[in-house]
């Protein structure tokens, strides 16, 4: 179903939250991919905003984000970018801070007219990442979840990729903070992101479902994410990969 030839009915603003904690090596690519995703929405009359939340960064992440903000304003002034700095060392808090910032900037609109999405500073979203979410929002979806894919396994054992891929494809409804979208009113009704150091995405998912949000799980749209060994969030994606690595190592040594 296509909406490009007609005005959007349910969506007046789209905002994206990107939390970052010491992501100088991957942040620039993540932000570049976000521009392509925003470009796919430029044919619709919709407000476009992004909040980059720099949480306890001690590297060059802030400089990279501010350079991107300035360059983007020169070539695509229709995309509003806000950079927020905090020292929480807490991804749930950072995501929540970004969401509250974007909702405050859209205070002239009803929260139900605002679509919020979150990704991560170590991830690259596909060009149709946002447009797909908006189309689903237009047909009544309140809560959208996408999948991930890894394109660089250089830090892991050669058999980790196959093991993870098999287990991941068997998972019916994976939940990733790096590929989430939700209606602003539904988000507020669910209480928003809890200030959790890990699992904030799953907690929000449970709350949205409990409050009756209409959910859509998308298996086709996949965000490219990092398979690095050094985790930013405890018990997150990097931790899950290390569990597989450890299990495979033990099996080969026994």
Q: Is residue 72 part of a domain?
A: yes
Q: Is residue 7 part of a domain?
A: no
Residue 51's φ and ψ, nearest 5 degrees, are -120, 115
Q: Is residue 210 part of a domain?
A: yes
- CATH number of residue 48's parent domain: 3.90.550.10
Six token digits for residue 224 = 């490219």
pLDDT of residue 250: 40
* pTM attached to this predicted model: 0.86
pLDDT of residue 150: 85
Q: Which domain holds residue 163?
A: 13-253
Q: What is the mean pLDDT of each run of 10 residues along the chain (254 residues)?
A: 66 98 96 97 94 98 98 93 98 98 98 98 97 98 95 64 72 92 98 97 97 96 76 54 46 49
pLDDT of residue 248: 47
* Helix segments in 106-230, DSSP class H: 129-138, 160-170, 184-189, 200-210
Overall size of the chain counted in residues:
254
Q: Is residue 6 part of a domain?
A: no
Domain total in the chain? 1
H helix or E strand, kind and range, residue 251:
helix 237-253
**Burial degree of 194 (CB within 10 A; 0-12, 13-18, 19+):** middle
Quickly tell me which residue has 């907690």 as its tokens: 203
Q: Is residue 2 part of a domain?
A: no
Q: Is residue 20 part of a domain?
A: yes
pLDDT of residue 241: 47
pLDDT of residue 160: 67
Neighbours of 171 (CB within 10 A): 9
pLDDT of residue 244: 42
Q: Is residue 4 part of a domain?
A: no
């Amino acid at each position: 179903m296509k909406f490009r030839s007609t005005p959007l009915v349910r969506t007046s603003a789209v905002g994206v939250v990107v939390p970052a904690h010491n992501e100088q090596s991957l942040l620039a690519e993540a932000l570049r991919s976000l521009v392509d995703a925003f470009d796919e929405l430029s044919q619709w009359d919709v407000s476009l905003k992004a909040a980059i939340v720099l949480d306890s960064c001690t590297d060059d992440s802030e400089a990279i984000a501010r350079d991107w903000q300035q360059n983007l304003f020169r070539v695509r002034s229709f995309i509003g970018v806000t950079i927020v700095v905090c020292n929480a060392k807490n991804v749930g808090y950072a995501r929540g801070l970004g969401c509250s910032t974007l909702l405050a900037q859209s205070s002239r609109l009803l929260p139900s007219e605002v679509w919020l999405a979150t990704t991560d500073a170590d991830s690259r979203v596909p060009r149709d990442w946002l447009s797909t979410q908006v189309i689903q929002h237009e047909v009544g979806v309140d809560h959208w979840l996408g999948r991930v894919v890894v394109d660089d396994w250089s830090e892991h054992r050669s058999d980790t990729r196959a093991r993870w891929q098999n287990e991941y494809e068997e998972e019916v409804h994976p939940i990733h903070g790096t590929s989430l979208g939700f209606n602003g009113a539904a988000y507020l009704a669910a209480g928003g992101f809890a200030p959790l150091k890990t699992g904030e995405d799953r907690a929000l998912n449970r709350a949205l479902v409990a409050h009756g949000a209409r959910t859509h799980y998308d298996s086709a749209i996949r965000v490219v994410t990092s398979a690095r060994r050094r985790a930013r969030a405890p018990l997150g994606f990097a931790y899950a990969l290390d569990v597989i690595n450890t299990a495979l190592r033990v099996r080969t040594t026994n």
